[in-house]
Amino acid sequence: MKKKPKVLALFTAGAPTRLDDDLSVEFETEGWKTEAGVVAALGELGYATEYLAIFDDLELLRQKLQSFQPDLIFNLADEFKQNRAFDQNIVSFLEMHGLAFTGCGSTGLMLCKHKGISKKILGYHRIRVPEFVTIPRGKRIKRPKRLKFPILIKPLKEEASYGISQASFVENDDEFKERVLFIHEKHENDVIAEEYIEGRELYVSILGNHRLQAFPIRELIFKEVPPDEPKIATYRAKWDAEYQKRWGLTNQFAEGLDPAVVRDIERTCKRIYHLLTIDGYARIDLRVKPNNEVYFIEANPNPFLAADEDFSQSALKAGLGYTQLIERIVRLGLKAVRE
C-alpha cells in the first residue's frame, strides 16, 4: 500500500512564534477552532500530521519544511504580520518551492482579494456585478455621476467585514466623502464604492479544481431588521453574538428558491470560480434581487473551515461529513497543478 502523505498544517498567529510551540491550550479556544478541527480530522484520517504557526518569520517555515519534509501543506495561513492582504504571498512562497498545498493558488487569492479587479473580470464575462468605482488613497474623492445612491463604501482589499458598518451605507455626497476618507485614513485601505443591491444574501460553497461540486445554498437572514433599513453583514453582524441576537441575524439553508433559480445560481457560481482561477474550495457571496437577478458580491477562496461555518454546514447537508470534507480538500491539494 502507498504510504499516507505527511501533512503540515500551517497557521498564522498574532504574535511571534517558535518552531516547537505547543498549541493544545489555544486549540481549546473559539479563535482556534478551525485549526483544532482540521488537525483533529487529519489525525483521524491517519496522516502523519504536524503543525506550525507563523507570524512574520518565513525562516521558521523553511526550517520546518527541512526537518519534517511534508508531502502537503494544509494551508490555513491567511495573513502575515497580521496583514490579511499577504495570504497570496505565503502561497507564492509555497509555489516557488514546488510544494503541494491545499486551497487556492496565489493568482486566485490575489484576484479575489481585490474587489475591483474581480468585478472587472466578471463584468467582462457578463456576470452581474454592482456598479462600482475604486478610489485609491491620495486621489480626489468624487462620486462619478453614473454611480447611484444608495452606495456601500468598502475597503478595496479586505475580508471578514473589516471596515464595514451601518455607516458604510451612504445616501448623499457628504456621507460618501466622509466614509471614503474614514476608510482611507483609519483603515489605511483604498476604497471600492458599490451600488447597494437590495435582495437576499446567499452563500454558495464550492469544492473542486476542474470538476466542481456546489453544495446546498446558505442564506443570511436579517429577521429583526426593519424592512426599510439596509441589510448588511457588517463587522458586528459577523463577530458580535449580542448584536446578532438583537437583530435576529441567522445563517440557515436558503428556503423557497425556485429550482430554476438554484440551477442558475450554481451555474453562475461555477463560472465565477473558474474565471477567478480558484482551486480547492471557496464560498461565493451573492445578492439575489426580488426579480431573481443574481449579483456577485464577493468570492472567498479558502473560507473558514470550522465545522459550524457555512462551508462545512453546506458540505454536511450534501452528505459530506467534516472528516470526509477535510480528506477531499487534502486530495485536491495533492492533485492541484500550480504554475
Ligand X SMILES: Nc1ncnc2c1ncn2[C@@H]1O[C@H](COP(=O)(O)OP(=O)(O)O)[C@@H](O)[C@H]1O
Q: Is the peptide bond before 5 cis (omega within 30 degrees of 0)?
A: no
With 0-12 CB in 10 A as exposed, 13-18 as middle and 19+ as buried, what is 134?
middle
Contact positions vs Mg ion (CB under 5 A): 285, 298
Q: Please select the residue that binds ligand X; options are 160, 225, 316, 336, rule is CB under 6 A.
A: 160
Nearest approach, Cβ of 285 to Mg ion (angstroms)? Answer: 5
Q: Please select the residue that binds ligand X; options are 176, 196, 296, 311, rule is CB under 6 A.
A: 196
225 binds ligand X (CB under 6 A): no
Positions in 58-117 near ligand X (CB under 6 A): 115
Q: Nearer Cβ to ligand X, position 93 or 162?
A: 162
Nearest approach, Cβ of 297 to ligand X (angstroms)? Answer: 5
- Binding site partner of 327, from ligand X, Mg ion, none, Cβ cut-off 5-8 A by kind: none
6 CA to centre of own chain: 26
Q: Which stretch binds ligand X (CB under 6 A): 16-24, 38-46, 139-147, 155-163?
A: 155-163
Q: Which stretch binds ligand X (CB under 6 A): 56-64, 161-169, 301-309, 323-331?
A: 161-169
State the virtual CA torsion across 204, 207, 211, 217 in degrees, nearest 10: -20
- Provide CB contacts within 8 A for 246, sequence distance 6+: 224
334 binds ligand X (CB under 6 A): no
**How many residues make contact with ligand X (CB under 6 A)?**
20
* CA gap 305, 135 in Å, rounded: 32
Q: Which stretch binds ligand X (CB under 6 A): 23-31, 84-92, 95-103, 196-204?
A: 196-204
Report CA-CA distances (Å) from 27 to 197, 229, 305, 334.
39, 39, 14, 26
**Cβ contact 150:169 at 8 Å:** yes
**Cβ contact 272:299 at 8 Å:** yes
Q: Nearer Cβ to ligand X, position 64 or 287?
A: 287
Nearest approach, Cβ of 275 to ligand X (angstroms)? Answer: 17
159 binds ligand X (CB under 6 A): yes
Q: Which stretch binds ligand X (CB under 6 A): 61-69, 72-80, 159-167, 321-329?
A: 159-167
Conformational region of residue 280, where left means phi above 0, alpha means psi within -120 to 50, and beta covers everything else:
left
- Provide CB contacts within 8 A for 2, sequence distance 6+: none
DSSP label at residue 275? H
Q: Please select the residue that binds ligand X; options are 8, 99, 153, 164, rule is CB under 6 A.
A: 164
* CA gap 285, 291 in Å, rounded: 18
150 grid coordinates:
444608495
297 binds ligand X (CB under 6 A): yes
- Strand ranges for 55-199 from DSSP E: 72-75, 132-135, 151-155, 169-170, 191-195
**Cβ contact 170:149 at 8 Å:** yes
Q: Which stretch binds ligand X (CB under 6 A): 38-46, 58-66, 191-199, 246-254?
A: 191-199
Q: Which residue is nearest to Mg ion (CB)?
A: 298
- Binding site partner of 164, from ligand X, Mg ion, none, Cβ cut-off 5-8 A by kind: ligand X
Q: Nearer Cβ to Mg ion, position 282 or 330?
A: 282
Q: Nearer Cβ to ligand X, position 222 or 322?
A: 222
The residue ranges that bind ligand X (CB under 6 A) are: 115, 130, 152, 154, 158-162, 164, 194, 196-197, 201, 232-233, 285, 287, 297-298
